[in-house]
Each structure stands twice: as structure tokens, then as C-alpha cells.
Amino acid sequence: MALLQPILDLVDLLYKKGIRDVVISPGSRSAPLTLAVARHPGLTARVVPDERSAGFTALGMAQMSGLPVAIICTSGTAVYNLSPAVAEAYFAEVPLLLLTADRPLEWLYQQDGQTIAQDGLFGKHVKRSYQLPADYTHADARWFIERTGNEAVNLCVASPPGPVHINVPLREPFYPAPDETFVYQAGRVVEALPVEPQLPTDAWHALLDEWDGTERKLITVGQLPYSPELMRVLTQISQEFQVPVVGEIISNLGRNELFISSSDTLLAQKDTDLLERLRPELLITLGNSLLTRNLKTYLRAYPPTRHWHIRPTTARLIDPFRSLTTQIPMAPLPFLTKLLADIDYQRFRQGDDDSDEESTYLTTWQTADRAARRLMESHLREAPFTDWSATQRVLEALPDGSHLHLGNSMPVRYANLCGLDARQQVRVWANRGTSGIDGCMSTAVGAALRTQAVVTLLIGDVSFFYDRNALWQPDLPKNLRVVLLNNAAGHIFRIIDGSSSQPELETYFETPHDLTAQRTAADHHCDYEAVADQDALSEALSRFYAPSDCPRILEIKTDKFVNEADFKAYKGRK
């Protein structure tokens, strides 16, 4: 057995359990893991020097593929740099497997370099943390490593998926001899069969009774991946049972004549009579977090009598509107499919039709939604050149069937106000697990690596410059398109209440700067173009999505004071 044979076998086990992609940040202590991956015939290794960017790149790859992605880094503070991506993966429910090299435990607190307390370092932001032994001579140690590898990958993908940490202490010598050949020995693979929960018959009948006993039903969809099947079922439920379906741009439902897509504007109004008429008796929620403050505030201020939340697990009681009455431990698609079929059958047997109140309730939501949409469109037609008007133009130019990554802060909010036409079939992604700005570009790079379709990142200037190491990796994907909204400041602080009225706004909140992306683009061999008005933007977009041999960056320069005045004028019209 080679000195570090269990490490070779652990890496081979990851391959046998379905992992194909590994993101590696270079280091010495991690050499055994790195070489085991680099020499494995079935694994694809990607080198990303910056650990923070590496974590988010892996996140984007895992989102796109739906499979766990492994990350390797060396010991010490390098491990801490994975923390932002780990936290995002935990709350966004993305499977990552973290393999962190370490010195053996006896060297901790002995003034040895790159040695920190790594066991359990990610705390509550991983599903579990494992510590491997540093010595492999006893058969029990090798059995433990094999068992841990199986358990870690199984846990990584078990519902809800998320990050799992394996800390790997490694003794020297850990570089192989020049003539050493790696042999990946066959290990034992332990599969964990998926659990498909089914509700007991009496519980299902109780839900159907609740459905029948309420007139005003509302379905609200949080962040979810694009799913034509789910959209089809929600469309049927809304049409057949006169149920409003409220979604946001990150819900991936798309704007059509049926769903409610302008809730941020709609629910900002002061007409309390209308707001009361919009209140549901039964609220059904699915997906992860909601984006807009107005929607969340409304559901808290006008709570339903009954509230179902559909989620495959009841491990955590998620009750952001303080109204939850029933946790339904199923995936949304099978639950709603069965609900549709059973209610259809029940109505067929009983000869029931939709009540007048149900029809009126849907019409009330749709009428208010269309009025909000007209208000937004009217404002943009009259608006000057701003981040918001530029966002509208970019969304209209997106290639059908492409992917859109939205940077946090204002870009995701502007995009949500605009919405996307469902006919574009654009898949929308955003790091809304923790809503940080720190890895938005790295995530988009990772996504672009795992699809042939165009991936557009709409990002603000502070987010872009904060994460420009996302471009510091070899072989950047040619299908990546970055649209940078550069207003030379952290624009959101001029928009939100509180900070905008403080005399310290510009110095302590806004992050003013005079940076552009031109040199960053040149450093990383990306095509670059800058525009500062609507005509130039339209002309640039006409060629932006043409095939290219490298990524492209389109920088849109706007005036922060014009942005501020325009957005406040819009808020004043609502």
C-alpha cells in the first residue's frame, strides 16, 4: 500500500459516488489530495487560486449540474476564505464537498505555520463536519475513512442538499516519489436510497378539507430553479381553481397574463381597502426566500387564517410571515400534481364549480398586478438613462433559453421590477441564500463552465470589483457575458431609508470610487466595451451576444444622482 493510499481511495470513492468536478486552490499541504484528483482519469480538476472565488465557482458549477462539486484547499487561513461560499451553499441548499488539508492535531498551538483549529471550523453552516485520522496503519482507520467518504457524499445530496466538510490531516512526506504510480483500489460504495415522503391518507384528506373550506387561496413562490413542469402545474391550478400565483424574478415563473409578477410595486400602495381584499384565507408557500420587502411585509401585516409551507423536510420550522399552520414534507411538484388531480376528481364527482368569490379574488389580484405593471412601464418610458432603464434594455436583449445571474444589492431588485417574459425561457439565478455581494461573479463563472448556453451576469460596480478575482483562473468560459452597472458608488445606500438621510452617507456607506473594468478586462483577456447612454447601449447589445473566443464585459456608466432622483420619483408615484 502506498504511504497515502487511503487518500487515493477516498478520491476514487468520490468519483464512484457521482462527483465529477473538483475545484482546487493550490497549496503544499493539500498536495496528496490535489495529485490524487489531477491524476484520476474520471475527474475534472479546475484550478482557482483565490479560495473565496474557488468556493463560489464550485457553487455555480453545482447549481448548474445539480451534482455535488468537491473543493480542495490547503491548511490555515486558506480554509476560512471558503466560508462565504459555504454559508451561501448552506442556505441556498447547494451540495458542496469541502476537502481541507490540515496538519496533524498534535501540531496545533505549537507555533507551526499554517496551523489553525480547522475541525468544525464552518460551524452551523455545514450539514456535518468530519475529521479524518492522520495515521492509516490500522485497518480500522482505513475503514473509517471509507465509511466517512460514503456518509459525507450521501449527506451532501440528501434533502435538503448542502455543504459537508471533511478535514484531512496529512503527514509528511506527502509528495510521491518520481517513479511512484498511483493505483486507485476498488473501495466499497454505500448508496443511500432517496426518500419519497407520502402523506398519510387522513392527513391528505384534512388538507383537502381545508382547501374546500376556504375561498381566497394564494400561492406564493420563493426562489426556485427553472422548472417547466412546475410552471405547468401552477398554471393549471391557477386557471382551473382561480388561484392567484405570486412569483418574483428569482421564482423562475416568468411574466405572463396569469401569474402575479409585479408584487413589489402592487403591494407598496396605501389603499388599505384593496390590500384587505387581497388578503388570503389560505396561503400556500413553496421555494426558498422571497426577494422583495413589500411582499414579505404585506404577508406579515395581512396574515392568512391558514398557511401551508411545502418543503421536502420538516427539519426546520420556516415561518417568515409568522402565520404557519402546516408543514408539508414533500417536494412542491409531486405535492401540487397530486393536489391538482385529487381536486379535479373531487369536483368532477361533486359537480362543483368555482365560486364567485374565488373568481373575484383572482381578478382582484390580476387587475392590481396589471395596473402596477402599467405604472412601471409608463415610468421607464419617461425615465432618463439610469441603472434601472439600462436593466430593462438588457433583459429584453437576453437570448432565449439563456441563463441570467443577478448580482445582489440593486441589480436583482431592478431586474425584479422589470421582470422577464415567460416566452424568453431564461433561467434566473441569484445568491439569495445569504444575499451577499462577495461571490456573485465567481458563481456566474462556475455556472458558465457547466453549460453551453449563454450566461449573463448583471452586477453592480462594488460587487464586481470586490469579486474580480473570479476572472483570475485559466480558460474562462467563452459563453460568459458580464453587464456591469457602474455608478461609481454603492448605489443602494442612496435608495434605502435610513442611510440615504445620513450626513455620513458618502464617506461611510456608499463606497465612492473612480474605477472602471477596462484594465480588469485586459488583464484577463476579456472583450470590453463601455457605454453611457441609451443609444450606445442598444448598439452595444446588438453585438454583445454574438459568438466570441473570450468572455465579454459591457460596462454601463450612469450617474448616481440621476439614479437616486429617478427611483425616488418612481416611489413617489406609487
Q: Model confidence over 80-91: pLDDT tens digits?
A: 999 999 999 999
Q: Of 310, 339, 371, which marks where a domain is finished?
A: 371
Q: Are 234 and 253 in contact (CB under 8 A)?
A: yes
Residues 138 and 20 in one domain: yes
Q: Is the confidence at residue 399, as pLDDT, over 90? A: yes
Cα–Cα distances in Å, from 395 out to 81, 179, 230, 388?
33, 56, 23, 11
Whether 99 is covered by a domain: the verdict is yes
Distance separating alpha carbons of residues 142 and 4, to the nearest angstrom: 11
Same structural domain, 331 and 444: no
Question: Which residue among 371, 405, 421 closes a domain?
Answer: 371
In a domain, 179, yes or no: no
The SS3 call for residue 56 is helix
pLDDT band at 353 (very low <50, low <70, confident <90, very high): low
Check if the beta carbon of residue 517 is closer than 8 Å to that of residue 555.
yes
Beta bridge partners of 220: 246, 285
- Same domain? For 398 and 471 the reply is yes
In one-letter notation, the amino acid at residue 24 is I
In a domain, 182, yes or no: no
| Residues 428 and 305 reside in one and the same domain | no
Per-residue pLDDT at 336 exceeds 70: yes
Examine residue 184 and state whether it is found in any structural domain, yes or no.
no
Q: Give the residue numbers spanning the domain of 36.
A: 5-169
CATH number at residue 273: 3.40.50.1220
Same domain, 208 and 153: no
Whether the bond into 312 is cis, omega within 30 of 0:
no
CATH, residue 541: 3.40.50.970
Secondary structure percentages of the chain, helix, strand, coil, to 5: 45, 15, 40
Q: Are residues 362 and 392 in the same domain?
A: no
- Mark whether 460 and 347 lie in a shared domain: no
Band the pLDDT of 1: cuts 50, 70, 90. very low
pLDDT tens, 470-484? 999 999 999 999 999
My answer on whether 427 and 281 are in the same domain is: no
pLDDT of 465 above 50: yes
Indicate the range of 166-170, 384-388, 434-438, 502-506 predicted with least confidence. 502-506
CA dist., res. 227 & res. 427, Å (int): 9
In a domain, 195, yes or no: no
Whether 83 maps to a domain, the answer reads yes
Cell of 366: 390580476
The residue from 371, 401, 429 where one domain ends is: 371
191 part of a folded domain:
no
Counted domains in the chain: 3
Residue 507: predicted pLDDT: 79
Residues 561 and 434 in one domain: yes
359 shares its domain with 394: no
387 shares its domain with 294: no
Q: What pTM was estimated for this model as a whole? A: 0.95
144 in a structural domain: yes
State whether 356 and 396 are in the same domain: no
Q: How far apart are CA 97 and CA 363, in angstroms?
A: 47
